Amino acid sequence: MDTSITRRGVIAGAAGGAALASPLARADDASPAQGHALGVAQTTPVTLRVNGKTAHLTVDHRTSLLDALREHAGLTGTKKGCDRGACGACTVHLDGRRVVSCLTLASRCQGKAITTIEGLAVSPAHPHPVQAAFMQHDAFQCGYCTPGQIMSAAALIKEGHAGSDDQIREWMSGNICRCGAYPNIVAAVRQAAREG
């Protein structure tokens, strides 16, 4: 008798097990593990330090930092682009390092310093050097990717990766500008790095 496990056998077994499950199970009778399958949201309290202020939020424990910032903390400067970590529009700083907030769970950010585009400048009258350089070089067109571009640029300058235009392009490559303002973005980063 052949006792090896096959893919067909696993699928057939799973289908049989699913047929035995009661279709009348109520969501409130579900265990936490079953809650996800039944669409029951499980919330968790999260305390975030955003731009030097404390935000006490209650979010679904699967909530991304991006959604916590935009939908729960009211900080809409961070943009949702691809929601897959590929475009960089949602870039924020987490303990001084740039991260794509769409792939970062809010619940994993407790106790960490989060800086968004709203907290980068000292004040509206005194923009961050990268923000000022982006305005001087007209380094945006539609502006949708600009917050993420600026957050990445500020981090790469601090990291010491603005030594040449090629280096700037390489370290900014995770941020996509669908309008194609790349030459002006590089010029803005170059100027901010010189002045910073």
Which is more confident, 3 or 91? Answer: 91
The Cα-based distances of 159 to 17, 18, 82, 154 in angstroms read 53, 52, 26, 9
Q: Is 140 exposed, middle or buried (0-12, 13-18, 19+ CB in 10 A)?
A: buried
Report DSSP letters for 113-136, one per residue: EEE-GGGTSSBTTB--HHHHHHHH
Average confidence (pLDDT) over 20-38: 45
Cα dihedral 170/104/65/120 (nearest 10): -30
Band (pLDDT 50/70/90 cuts) for residue 26 is very low
Domains of the chain (ranges; CATH) run 43-119 (3.10.20.30), 129-195 (1.10.150.120)
Whether 123 has a pLDDT exceeding 90, the answer reads: no
In this predicted model, what pLDDT tens digit does every residue of 145-177 receive, in sequence order? 999 999 999 999 999 999 999 999 999 999 999
37-41, 93-97, 180-184 — which is least confidently predicted? 37-41
Distance CA 96, CA 108 (A): 16
What are the pLDDT digits (tens) for 66-122?
A: 999 999 999 999 999 999 999 999 999 999 999 999 999 999 999 999 999 999 998
Q: Which of residues 1 and 41 earns the better pLDDT score?
A: 41
What sign results for the dihedral spanned by CA atoms 119, 151, 146, 47?
negative
* Mean pLDDT score, 4-18: 54
Mean pLDDT of the chain: 87
Residue type, 47: T
Q: What is the pLDDT of residue 5?
A: 65
Mean pLDDT of 43-52: 95
Mean of the pLDDT values across residues 126-137? 96
DSSP summary character for residue 93: E
* 107 Cβ neighbours under 8 A, 6+ residues apart: 44, 46, 59, 61, 63
**What's the pLDDT score for residue 196?**
74
Task: Give yes or no for a contact between 79 and 63, defined as CB atoms under 8 angstroms apart.
Answer: no
Q: Pairing relation of β-strands 53-60 and 91-94?
A: unpaired
